[in-house]
């Protein structure tokens, strides 16, 4: 589940060329000089992740220009530089803002697009499936945005109370195999409520994914994750008296028993699963949105190897 840029950071374009024993010193120097002039290769320290990814894409494009001037061996060395394939990006397509003495709205509608940075050998079926999945997600986000705006405008028209609605999208996971967008919606009407939507794309298949897709087929992932969450709840409450979760409550019907098959989650920067709950799902409202990070050791024996 390592990020693509983490993989790239471990591979320096210069290091790849130096490791190619079948390149002559003259060819190496000529290739280095051309790439340095274009700003593709720089000496240490290495670039920050985003700049380095751009450098790799530039290196791939530059190969077309400089390869005729060096040998076939140099061309092969250039082909070993990682090349980015299709990239999913989030863009804001609509912003709805309203502000009065009694009502306020700040709504951002995001859409996902697939960009092909450099042509590669990615399966065309995966590209087509990705486009289909993005269209489905975009339609769902658009419909949700329309509902929020319509409800808000109806409340404003009535003008009988105070209220606000806020919608903020964010990319929380973007690796070489996985993409997740998180949308937080906050509604204020007397009291407030906050909830989240998560949309996942498995980049290896292009399909819309869920929590179960992280695990081998048929694996019982719900039990170990649920038990770990209960353990964390008890530990957190023991450490901080201000925290409270419904785990050992006298009102047993409130107690958390298990995550859902369609449980909200995302993958953090360390590749760990973060389980997310809306307000009032597993704790009183004052606790807000609740998250639990699942250590990889809890599910390591059932995780798919390509995650």
Measure the CA–CA gap between 42 and 60, rounded to whole angstroms. 15
Three-class SS state of 200:
strand
Is the separation of the CB atoms in 3 and 174 below 8 Å?
yes
Q: Output 170-174 pairs: Cβ under 8 A, ≥24 positions apart.
A: 171/90, 172/266, 172/267, 172/268, 173/200, 173/266, 173/267, 173/268, 174/3, 174/4, 174/88
Q: What is the mean pLDDT of each run of 10 residues along the chain (307 residues)?
A: 38 40 52 46 39 38 35 41 66 96 96 75 83 97 97 90 94 95 91 91 95 95 98 97 92 90 95 95 93 96 81
Task: Please give the pLDDT value at position 180.
Answer: 98
**Strand ranges, E, within the chain:** 86-99, 103-116, 163-174, 178-189, 191-202, 207-209, 265-267, 273-277, 290-294
Which is nearest to 264 in space by CA: 158, 153, 180?
180
- Return the number of other C-beta atoms located less than 10 Å from residue 163's C-beta: 20
Give this prediction's pTM: 0.70
């Amino acid at each position: 589940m390592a990020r693509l840029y983490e993989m790239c950071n471990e591979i320096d374009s210069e290091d790849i060329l130096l490791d190619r024993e079948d390149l002559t010193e003259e060819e190496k120097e000529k290739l280095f000089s051309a790439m340095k002039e274009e700003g593709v290769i720089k000496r240490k320290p290495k670039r920050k992740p985003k700049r380095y990814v751009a450098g790799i894409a530039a290196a791939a494009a530059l190969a077309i220009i400089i390869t005729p001037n060096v040998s076939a061996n140099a061309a092969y060395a250039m082909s070993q530089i990682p090349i980015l394939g299709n990239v999913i990006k989030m863009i804001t397509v609509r912003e709805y803002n309203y502000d009065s003495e009694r009502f306020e709205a700040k709504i951002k509608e995001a859409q996902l697009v697939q960009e092909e940075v450099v042509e590669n050998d990615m399966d065309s079926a995966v590209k087509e499936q990705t486009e289909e999945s993005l269209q489905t997600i975009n339609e769902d986000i658009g419909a949700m945005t329309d509902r929020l705006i319509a409800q808000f405008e109806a409340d404003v028209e009535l003008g009988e109370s105070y209220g606000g609605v806020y919608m903020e999208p964010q990319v929380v996971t973007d690796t070489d195999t996985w993409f997740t967008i998180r949308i937080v919606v906050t509604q204020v009407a007397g009291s407030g409520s906050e909830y989240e939507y998560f949309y996942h794309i498995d980049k290896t298949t292009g399909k819309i994914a869920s929590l179960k897709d992280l695990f081998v087929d048929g694996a019982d992932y719900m039990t170990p994750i649920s038990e770990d969450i209960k353990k964390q709840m008890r530990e957190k409450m023991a450490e901080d008296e201000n925290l409270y979760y419904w785990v050992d409550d006298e009102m047993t019907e409130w107690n958390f028993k298990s995550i859902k098959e369609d449980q909200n989650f995302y993958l953090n920067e360390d590749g760990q699963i973060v389980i997310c709950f809306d307000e009032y799902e597993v704790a009183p409202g004052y606790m807000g949105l609740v998250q639990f990070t699942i250590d990889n050791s809890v599910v390591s024996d059932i995780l798919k190897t390509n995650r």
